[in-house]
A and B are shown apart, each in its own frame.
Chain A
Amino acid sequence: MPDKTAEKVTTATGEPIPAAAVATDAGPAPAKARSLWSDAWHDLRRQPLFIISSVLILLLLVIAIWPGLFTSASPRQADLAKHYLQKPQWGHFFSPEWLGYDGQGRSIYARVIYGARASITVGVGVTLCVTVLGTFIGMIAGYFGGWIDSILSRVTDVFLGIPFLLGALVVLNTFEKRSVWVVILALAFLGWTQIARVARGAVITIKQADYVMAAKALGASTTRILFRHILPNALAPIIVVATIALGGYIAAEATLSFLGIGLTEPTISWGGDVSAGREQLRNAPFTLIVPSVMVSVTVLSFLMFGDAVRNALDPKLR
């Protein structure tokens, strides 16, 4: 299994490291030379942080994709007779009344299960958009330098000057109906700067490497140099920043939905449910506490995952 992964990853990055191989041959313990990626994978599997967070994330993904597996109740079925009426029934695991009912008599348990999809889609979606956009902009700025870099860096500064939450409020407020995709695009529009900076820095270091010179001397095209030689080698710091940011985007979506400027009905979101129950904090705290706990557990899982990835890919930062 490890060998297979190692092979796959080395071919994927396309960067054999002859120097390291020579060094290991000369060394007393002839261990197989490993690329950064297989080394990181080797390291990851031994981290309890990684194992715990992966299990939690897998569970959350299953909930997000097939919520029907976890509850038979509908999250939208309202029965006003049950309006805040029922306290949580601790014995009734996974039944609709397990965690009580909200203000409109909907099962809180069903609501939090069905709320997972929106949160996780936003978190993953924003991270993907931000990574692609930020990497592209950062790579162009870093590789070409000169006036292209000056312009792109000033644009980055302008976007960095806008406080994230405030910018998101202004952008999202201009939409009447806000679906998951609107929220993803709005957050990505404001969030790409961090990755762009990291990517630019990494590319500036890498473009001076000998293998880039060699590729240029061999007459490789700019696109080939960028995507075959520079990108794979700049990827590690980008992935570290992106995985850590993922949890933050989920928290941002929940906060915006809580403020009433994130996802709107009919999308079920944890932040929106907390906001709907806020007047009942004294009488029916569970309407707030259950979705709040779900948000925190989800953010925590992704943060732990990000930490584990960082420990593996960038041991210096530990």
Chain B
Amino acid sequence: MGRYVARRLLQMIPVFIGSTLIIFLMMYALPGDPVRAMMGDQAYDPSVVASKRKELGLDLPILQQYWNYLSGLVQGDFGTQIASQQPIADVIARVFPVTIRLTIFAFAFVSIVGIGLGIIAGLRPDTLRDRGLLTLTLILVSMPSFVLGFLLQWLLAFQWPIVKPTVQDDTDITQLLLPAIVLASLSLAYVARLTRTSIAENLRADYMRTAVAKGLPRRRIIGVHLMRNSLIPVVTFLGIEIGNLMTGAIVTEGIFNVGGVGNEIYQALIRREGATVVGIASLMVLIYLAASLIVDLLYAVLDPRIRYA
């Protein structure tokens, strides 16, 4: 087990470097200059711009810049935001907790409601209940989150005013409820469908028939035999979805005006602040990779047939 984890961690390094390099190259190698963006519409002296670029290391070859960036990153230095002169680490420390709160909230929603609905449908495949749920999830999947976001905002904030249209205070759980539901909807629908398929398939498995023939109580058959076998693919999917939820927050945070990572990344993109975008993106890539590692390790816990040497 220890060796497996070590090997996986080593394999993560080139993937991490590759992914961040691609984002870095796209952010820097293409037109648009953060120093010029900082000057805005002011008239500027070319020599001032040049010295500023030198000071920020923007005149170095691109791979050299990447290397400097990466070595700073390893030491926990994300660089400095050019416009606000704040260390990016501080910016991240300010906005990440907000998004993490929103993501955890959405993730809980996806796991509990998604798996719950999937179980309800999967236990009685091809009934009206099952068909209704499949239709409902299909509709949820086909609504991009901005559509669902505006629809709920319009219905719940303007038509029947029961919630505030935007989030005023992002530490208030009740205000984060609506954004979390919108963020969760797509993953929730996929999780419900996946759980349903997995359960419906396992219901026909031989071990289920054996368990019934042994005279085990229904609660044990479903709660232990069926669930443990059916939820393995669902767990994989949930692990991958953590990363997708965090990027999906870019849209949801925009609609509901939540001051999290999504908002920050969006503002930075418009200001062409590569360092902020790459910094947040690197963290997201790390979360992605860590989640996939945890999922693989959870496999061994859930399925004793899998052993890692």
Q: Is chain B a partner of chain A in the same complex?
A: yes
In the complex formed, the residue of A with least CB distance to B32 is A174
In the assembly, what is the distance between CA of A174 and CA of B33, in Å? 11
In the assembly, what is the distance between CA of A278 and CA of B251, in Å? 13
Is B250 a contact partner of A157 (Cβ separation < 8 A)? no
Q: Which residues of B contact A317 (CB under 8 A)?
A: 197
Residue-by-residue, is B258-297 near A (CB-CB < 8 Å gives 1, otherwise 0)? 0000000110011010000100010011001100000000
In the assembly, what is the distance between CA of A135 and CA of B70, in Å? 33
Is A296 a contact partner of B246 (Cβ separation < 8 A)? no
Is A247 an interface residue when CB atoms closer than 8 A count as contact? yes
In the complex formed, the residue of B with least CB distance to A258 is B146
In the complex formed, the residue of B with least CB distance to A251 is B144
Is B142 a contact partner of A157 (Cβ separation < 8 A)? no
In the complex formed, the residue of B with least CB distance to A165 is B247
In the assembly, what is the distance between CA of A255 and CA of B197, in Å? 29
Is B19 an interface residue when CB atoms closer than 8 A count as contact? yes
Is A236 an interface residue when CB atoms closer than 8 A count as contact? no
In the complex formed, the residue of A with least CB distance to B287 is A163
Known: A169-B250, A282-B158. A300 touches B146 (CB 8 A): no
In the assembly, what is the distance between CA of A170 and CA of B276, in Å? 12
In the complex formed, the residue of B with least CB distance to A282 is B158
In the assembly, what is the distance between CA of A246 and CA of B14, in Å? 31
In the assembly, what is the distance between CA of A228 and CA of B150, in Å? 50
The size bracket of the interface on B is 35 or more
Closest CB of chain A to B165's CB: distance in Å?
Answer: 8
Closest CB of chain A to B58's CB: distance in Å?
Answer: 16
In the assembly, what is the distance between CA of A303 and CA of B247, in Å? 22
Q: Which residues of A contact B243 (CB under 8 A)?
A: 163
Q: Is the interface of A mostly helix, strand, loop or mixed?
A: helix
Q: Which of A158, A278, A307 contacts B15 (CB 8 A)?
A: A158
In the complex formed, the residue of B with least CB distance to A288 is B150
In the assembly, what is the distance between CA of A174 and CA of B277, in Å? 13
Is B27 a contact partner of A170 (Cβ separation < 8 A)? yes
Is B281 a contact partner of A166 (Cβ separation < 8 A)? yes
Is B112 an interface residue when CB atoms closer than 8 A count as contact? no
In the assembly, what is the distance between CA of A303 and CA of B134, in Å? 12
Q: Which residues of B contact A255 (CB under 8 A)?
A: 144-146, 251
Residue-by-residue, is B126-142 near A (CB-CB < 8 Å gives 1, otherwise 0)? 00000000000011011
Is B60 an interface residue when CB atoms closer than 8 A count as contact? no
In the complex formed, the residue of B with least CB distance to A278 is B150
Residue-by-residue, is A138-182 near B (CB-CB < 8 Å gives 1, otherwise 0)? 000000000000000011011101111111011101101000000
Q: Which residues of B contact A173 (CB under 8 A)?
A: 269-270, 272
Is A157 a contact partner of B265 (Cβ separation < 8 A)? no
Q: Which residues of B contact A158 (CB under 8 A)?
A: 14-15, 18-19, 22
Is B139 a contact partner of A300 (Cβ separation < 8 A)? yes
In the complex formed, the residue of B with least CB distance to A253 is B144
Is A303 a contact partner of B26 (Cβ separation < 8 A)? no
Known: A169-B250, A171-B26. A299 touches B146 (CB 8 A): no
In the assembly, what is the distance between CA of A35 and CA of B289, in Å? 41
Is A92 an interface residue when CB atoms closer than 8 A count as contact? no
Q: Which of B22, B153, B154, B246 contacts A162 (CB 8 A)?
A: B22
Chain B CB within 10 Å, residue with most, of A155, A161, A170, A282: A161
Is B143 an interface residue when CB atoms closer than 8 A count as contact? yes
Closest CB of chain B to A103's CB: distance in Å?
Answer: 15
In the assembly, what is the distance between CA of A317 and CA of B26, in Å? 38
Give the residues from 199 to 213 in chain B that come closer than 8 angstroms, CB to CB, to chain A: none
In the assembly, what is the distance between CA of A303 and CA of B137, in Å? 11
Is A312 an interface residue when CB atoms closer than 8 A count as contact? no
Is B248 an interface residue when CB atoms closer than 8 A count as contact? yes
Known: A161-B16, A161-B19. A166 touches B138 (CB 8 A): no
In the complex formed, the residue of A with least CB distance to B29 is A174
10 closest A-B pairs by CB: A158-B18, A300-B142, A174-B30, A161-B19, A299-B142, A163-B247, A292-B147, A251-B144, A165-B247, A173-B269
Residue positions of A touching B, CB distance < 8 A: 154-155, 157-159, 161-167, 169-171, 173-174, 176, 247, 251, 254-255, 258-259, 261, 271, 274, 278, 281-282, 285, 288-289, 292, 295-297, 299-300, 303-304, 307, 317-318
Besides A164-B247, A258-B251, A299-B141, 6 new A-B residue pairs in contact (Cβ under 8 A), listed by A number: A162-B19, A162-B285, A163-B246, A166-B250, A174-B32, A281-B158
Residue positions of B touching A, CB distance < 8 A: 14-16, 18-19, 22-23, 26-27, 30-32, 138-139, 141-147, 150-151, 153-154, 158, 165, 197, 243-244, 246-248, 250-251, 254, 265-266, 269-270, 272, 277, 281, 284-285, 288-289
A to B CB contacts below 8 Å, 28 in the list:
A154-B14, A154-B15, A154-B18, A158-B18, A158-B19, A158-B22, A161-B288, A161-B289, A164-B244, A165-B247, A167-B23, A169-B266, A247-B141, A247-B142, A251-B142, A251-B144, A254-B144, A255-B144, A271-B146, A278-B150, A281-B153, A281-B158, A282-B154, A285-B154, A289-B150, A289-B151, A292-B151, A307-B138
